[in-house]
């Protein structure tokens, strides 16, 4: 649906764009793809090339001229050439005087050069108005029309009018231009396509490390121990039982790790008596990836729900229930209903269901399309208050799961407690410290500090 609409937009341009001439320097992959899209959108495209000969690859209806001839035909020139070849523009400086030069280039490494490519271009052709744009869109996406992943075009430049002209072209192509300010922002815009999920690195690595740890932990406790002491082969636990232990454990630990940096930040601010000193770098970075940590936690919680749903159809579970029933029948016994156990089991399930429901709600409100529609206070309410409620419910779900087996010596194997007991450490610390922090004797000074009040001004560091 979206795809169609984007293509329809691109193919049905604003008629005011009709026949406006745009020059593209370079007939490489990107120049051709952009030229093709602009012709589709109603622009007249002139290519400036080292070889003024057209080929079957050049879009039909486009002219191919020398750089100097092509530049004279348009007010906007898109430089679809690698930065290392920009010096060919120096002799053209006079012709390029007053023209809008669009720098679309990317580098191979983050901060590869001391100045951005767009600033370098502005230095080479000082009389031109340089605008940085289109570097976040790929030639392939332009050509195939699959612009869903990269519809946003960051635009920056020192000349407002030039920037506006480039943003109009982006809109006519079905893209979404975002004004990022002056040419000083170009370096950041050039670094953007080189980043690979920067905020996801820590959450993913952490969850991989924790998954590996808990996998071997559960393997030792549930499979190897049973094999050594009872000579039983429970290796099939690797398929469902162990993942269904790891998933809730990770969901709970990661959820607690979303709230732990906030608690640490509050302690640091209280200790320093000011909010005007930077947090340590590791804490800053941790706080910046809280949303990603929460989403990974939600993914583990969702897997836990799915694994739990298949428990009744597992062969091992059906065998255990039937063996128990048969044993009771053979011994002519019945088991009276244990109301305490029934309460524990129902409360455990109810807490899990409510916790998961709020977890999903938190995940949904972190989506940009939803968070853009709530104000800051509403967002904070959901992420902070409902977030803590989710953590309380999920921690309670785990505590009640332990029930009367909790801390029982018989549950230890090789002195190793159940994995869920380890999972409770971080959430309990977070909740206890948070509980202490809401006491008025701490909450009041903390609120004052966050409003700008300082106990002892310290500007060093
Ligand atoms: P390309 O296929 O290698 O094409 C570059 C073009 O530059 C060549 O076709 C050539 O055009 C021209 N050229 C090469 N050497 C030159 C020289 N010494 N002097 C003057 N012109 C020269 O590269 P591309 O993939 O189209 O990329 C072009 C620019 O777009 C790069 O800065 C790149 O970072 C940026 N970009 C590319 C993509 C993408 O998906 N490919 C995405 C975003 C941004 P003529 O033979 O016509 O002279």
For 426-456, give the DSSP string. HHHHHHHHHHHHTSHHHHHHHHHHHTT--SS
Residues spanned by CATH 1.20.120 within the chain? 200-451
pLDDT above 90 coverage of the chain, percent: 69
Q: Is the CB of 81 under 6 A from ligand 1?
A: yes
d(CA 364, CA 220): 37
d(CA 189, CA 380): 29
What mean pLDDT comes out for the span 213-218?
97
What mean pLDDT comes out for the span 315-326?
92
What mean pLDDT comes out for the span 225-244?
93
Q: Give distance in angstroms: CA of 12 to centre of ligand 1.
A: 28
Q: How far, CA to CA in Å, does 304 sit from each of 80, 154, 196, 294, 365? A: 49, 40, 28, 15, 21
Range with the lowest mean pLDDT among 6-15, 225-234, 248-257? Answer: 6-15
Q: What is residue 2's predicted lDDT score, i.e. its pLDDT?
A: 40
386 pLDDT more than 50: yes
Q: Which atom of ligand 1 is nearest to the CA of 27?
A: 47
Comparing 150 with 9, the larger pLDDT belongs to 150
Q: What is the pLDDT of residues 42-87, one digit of tens each?
A: 999 999 999 877 677 888 889 999 999 999 999 999 999 999 999 9
Q: Is the CB of 30 under 6 A from ligand 1?
A: yes
288 pLDDT more than 50: yes
Pairing, β 129-132 against β 152-157: antiparallel
Q: Give distance in angstroms: CA of 25 to centre of ligand 1.
A: 9
460 pLDDT more than 50: no
Helix (H, G, I), strand (E, B) or coil at 275: coil
Q: Is the CB of 50 under 6 A from ligand 1?
A: yes
Q: What is the pTM (predicted TM-score) of this model?
A: 0.72
Q: What is residue 149's predicted lDDT score, i.e. its pLDDT?
A: 58
pLDDT above 70 coverage of the chain, percent: 93
The CATH code for residues 200-451 is: 1.20.120
Q: Give distance in angstroms: CA of 85 to centre of ligand 1.
A: 9
Helix (H, G, I), strand (E, B) or coil at 131: strand
Q: What is the pLDDT of residues 158-174, one digit of tens each?
A: 999 999 999 999 999 99
What mean pLDDT comes out for the span 350-371?
90
Decide if 127 contacts 93 (C-beta within 8 A): yes
Q: Which atom of ligand 1 is nearest to the CA of 31?
A: 26
Q: Which amino acid residue places its CA nearest to atom 10 of ligand 1?
A: 26
β-sheet bridge partners, residue 325: none
Q: What is residue 18's predicted lDDT score, i.e. its pLDDT?
A: 53
Q: Is the CB of 49 under 6 A from ligand 1?
A: yes
Q: Which amino acid residue places its CA nearest to atom 12 of ligand 1?
A: 26
Q: Which atom of ligand 1 is nearest to the CA of 140?
A: 40
Q: Is the CB of 117 under 6 A from ligand 1?
A: no
17 pLDDT more than 70: no
Band of pLDDT at residue 225, cut at 50, 70 and 90: very high
Q: Is the CB of 78 under 6 A from ligand 1?
A: no
Residues spanned by CATH 3.40.50.720 within the chain? 21-194
Q: What is residue 440's predicted lDDT score, i.e. its pLDDT?
A: 92
d(CA 344, CA 342): 5
Q: What is residue 7's predicted lDDT score, i.e. its pLDDT?
A: 39
Q: What is the mean pLDDT of the chain?
A: 89
Band of pLDDT at residue 94, cut at 50, 70 and 90: very high
Q: Which of 80, 86, 116, 155 to mutate to test the pocket of ligand 1 (most atoms within 8 A of CB)?
A: 80
Q: Which of 23, 28, 34 to mutate to test the pocket of ligand 1 (most atoms within 8 A of CB)?
A: 28
Query: Strands (DSSP E) along 150-217, which ranges?
Result: 152-157, 176-179
Q: What is the pLDDT of residues 391-433, one digit of tens each?
A: 999 999 999 987 767 677 788 889 899 899 999 999 999 999 9
What's the CA angle centered on 200, arms 307 and 368, to 5 degrees?
90
Q: Give distance in angstroms: CA of 180 to centre of ligand 1.
A: 24
Q: Which atom of ligand 1 is nearest to the CA of 142?
A: 40
Q: Is the CB of 282 under 6 A from ligand 1?
A: no
1 pLDDT more than 50: no
Q: Give distance in angstroms: CA of 136 to centre of ligand 1.
A: 15
Band of pLDDT at residue 145, cut at 50, 70 and 90: confident
Q: Give distance in angstroms: CA of 173 to centre of ligand 1.
A: 20
Q: Is the CB of 150 under 6 A from ligand 1?
A: no
The CATH code for residues 21-194 is: 3.40.50.720
Q: What is residue 148's predicted lDDT score, i.e. its pLDDT?
A: 58
Q: Which amino acid residue places its CA nearest to atom 4 of ligand 1?
A: 28
260 pLDDT more than 90: yes
228 pLDDT more than 90: yes
């Amino acid at each position: 649906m979206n795809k169609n609409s984007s293509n329809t937009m691109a193919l049905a341009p604003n008629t005011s764009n009709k026949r406006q001439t745009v020059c593209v320097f370079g007939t490489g992959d990107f120049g051709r793809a952009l030229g093709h899209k602009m012709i589709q959108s109603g622009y007249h495209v002139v290519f400036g090339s080292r070889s003024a000969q057209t080929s079957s690859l050049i879009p039909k209806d486009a002219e191919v001229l020398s750089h100097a001839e092509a530049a004279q035909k348009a007010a906007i020139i898109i430089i679809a050439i690698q930065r290392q070849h920009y010096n060919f523009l120096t002799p053209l400086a006079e012709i390029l005087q007053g023209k809008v030069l669009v720098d679309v280039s990317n580098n191979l490494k983050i901060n590869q050069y001391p100045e951005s490519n767009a600033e370098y271009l502005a230095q080479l052709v000082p009389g031109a108005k340089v605008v940085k744009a289109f570097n976040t869109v790929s030639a392939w996406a332009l050509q195939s029309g699959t612009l869903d992943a990269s519809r946003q075009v960051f635009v920056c430049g020192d000349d407002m009018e030039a920037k506006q002209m480039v943003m109009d072209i982006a809109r006519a192509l079905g893209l979404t231009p975002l004004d990022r300010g002056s040419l000083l922002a170009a370096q950041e815009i050039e670094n953007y396509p080189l980043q690979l999920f920067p905020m996801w690195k820590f959450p993913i690595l952490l969850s991989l490390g924790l998954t590996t740890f808990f996998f071997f932990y559960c393997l030792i406790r549930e499979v190897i121990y049973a094999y050594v002491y009872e000579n039983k082969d429970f290796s099939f636990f690797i398929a469902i039982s162990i993942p269904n232990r790891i998933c809730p454990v990770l969901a709970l630990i990661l959820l607690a790790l979303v709230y732990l940096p906030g608690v640490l930040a509050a302690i640091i601010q209280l200790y320093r008596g000011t909010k005007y000193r930077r947090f340590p770098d590791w804490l800053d970075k941790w706080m910046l990836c809280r949303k990603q940590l929460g989403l990974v936690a939600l993914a583990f919680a969702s897997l836990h729900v799915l694994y739990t749903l298949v428990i009744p159809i597992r062969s091992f579970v059906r065998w255990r229930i039937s063996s128990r029933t048969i044993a009771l029948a053979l011994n002519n016994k019945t088991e009276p209903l244990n109301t305490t156990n029934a309460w524990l089991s129902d409360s455990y399930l109810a807490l899990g269901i409510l916790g998961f429901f709020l977890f999903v709600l938190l995940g949904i409100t972190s989506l940009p399309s939803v968070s853009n529609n709530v104000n800051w206070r509403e967002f904070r309410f959901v992420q902070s208050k409902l977030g803590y409620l989710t953590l309380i419910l999920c921690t309670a779900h785990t505590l009640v799961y332990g029930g009367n087996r909790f801390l029982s010596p018989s549950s230890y194997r090789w002195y190793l407690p159940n994995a869920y007991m380890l999972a409770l450490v971080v959430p309990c610390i977070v909740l206890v410290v948070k509980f202490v922090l809401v006491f008025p004797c701490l909450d009041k000074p903390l609120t004052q500090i966050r409003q700008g009040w300082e106990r002892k001004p310290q500007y060093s560091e």
